[in-house]
A and B are shown apart, each in its own frame.
Chain A
Amino acid sequence: AQSVSQHNHHVILSEAASLELGCNYSYGGTVNLFWYVQYPGQHLQLLLKYFSGDPLVKGIKGFEAEFIKSKFSFNLRKPSVQWSDTAEYFCAVYAGGTSYGKLTFGQGTILTVHP
């Protein structure tokens, strides 16, 4: 079964700092990759996704992620964070086949941005 690992549990940054959140997955076949964001007190929302093609994908609010197949990684980046980016971020993998549409989520990374 596939698994997803997010390296950092809690990241604390000041506004305008650059962000990179790590995500690694374990599955040797074709995958679809997602990043979700959960703002305080809210439900999860899709931030961006990768299915095929250009390994650098852009999402909402200036976020982007790069799929590196050889490293089984899908790291999330943002050049300059804002206070409003304070949230929990989840990486997720869909492995297809008999997964019956099930996404496997990482443990989540809490991002705190200080003004």
Chain B
Amino acid sequence: NAGVTQTPKFRILKIGQSMTLQCTQDMNHNYMYWYRQDPGMGLKLIYYSVGAGITDKGEVPNGYNVSRSTTEDFPLRLELAAPSQTSVYFCASSYNPGASSGYTFGSGTRLTVV
């Protein structure tokens, strides 16, 4: 199993540009999440989804959008990149995080906005 796959691994954007961070999982997990990780701040939830067609905001959704058209894919869209969005982005999935498995994380996307 590939688990959770994120692309790209690295990206440099100019202010005002847009991009989509891709996330796909092959474990048939219903729950998917996008977190951003900043030094000393831990992980902050951006958006999450409890199944295809259902998404909701997390702690820090401003400047981002998501969609969940299939169980496997959960892309994160940045419409107008800002320097404050420089971060490492992790996608995660879970069958049920309240049960035994916790989350499976992707390898991350390091984004720099200049």
Task: Tell me the A residues contacting B by CB distance below 8 Å.
Answer: 4, 6, 9, 32, 34, 36, 42-46, 49, 51, 90, 92, 94, 96, 100-103, 105-108
Contact = CB atoms under 8 A, between A and B. Distances in A.
Interface of B: 31, 33, 35, 40-43, 45, 48, 50, 56, 58, 90, 92, 94, 96-100, 102-103, 105-108
B51 to A, nearest CB: 10
B48 A100 contact: yes
Contacts, number: 59
B35 to A, nearest CB: 8
Nearest to B102: A46
Given A43-B105, A43-B107, A100-B50, A107 B42 contact: yes
Given A32-B98, A51-B100, A90-B43, A102 B105 contact: no
